Amino acid sequence: MSTKTKNQKLTPTQLEYQQFAKAHEPARPVWKNTLRAFWVGGTICLFGQFVQLFFIKYFGFTEKTAGNPTVAVLIFLSVLLTGFGVYDKIAQYAGAGTAVPVTGFANSVASAALEHKSEGYVLGVGGNMFKLAGSVIVFGVFAAFIIGLLKWAWQALEAM
């Protein structure tokens, strides 16, 4: 549906309000926000790389096996920082840079759990902490299924 079609359904007062709101909307510093997201997200990834190298060097993991404990450390630190309110301050500064998959996902689950803690642990925390995360899991599984089908089809074509 185009903007013109949407605007035809609005009353003159609603159109006037939209124009007023658009005129008073602050300009977004796109380049500044992009740079912040890039360097903060990159720093999170760089920290994850250091953690992985730590596991490889000091615990004898291989590059392949060091991934799981690295992810566990990143999740733990993200949830800990969320609990102390630090992750939210970083997210306000960096925006999408904190949505690096593992830490952003852990933050979304922990934030929802903390938000509904007053409703009790079972119905509040347990019932609400996966509302946002659930859709991510569903679409992730669906995307993995589609990619698996494509890989299977590709291998079947190569075998011919």
Please identify every stretch of the chain with a pLDDT value under 70, giving residue numbers as ranges. Answer: 1-8
Q: How many CA atoms lie within 13 A of 80 on its CB side?
A: 6
pTM score, whole prediction? 0.69
Q: What is the pLDDT of residue 7?
A: 55
pLDDT of residue 137: 79
**77 Cβ contact list (under 8 Å, min separation 6):** 103
The pLDDT of residue 154:
95
Choose among 56, 27, 44: nearest CA to 96: 44
Residue-level pLDDT at 35? 96
Say if CB 57 and CB 69 are below 8 A apart.
no
Question: Which of 112, 158, 159, 160 shows the shortest CA–CA distance to 135?
Answer: 112
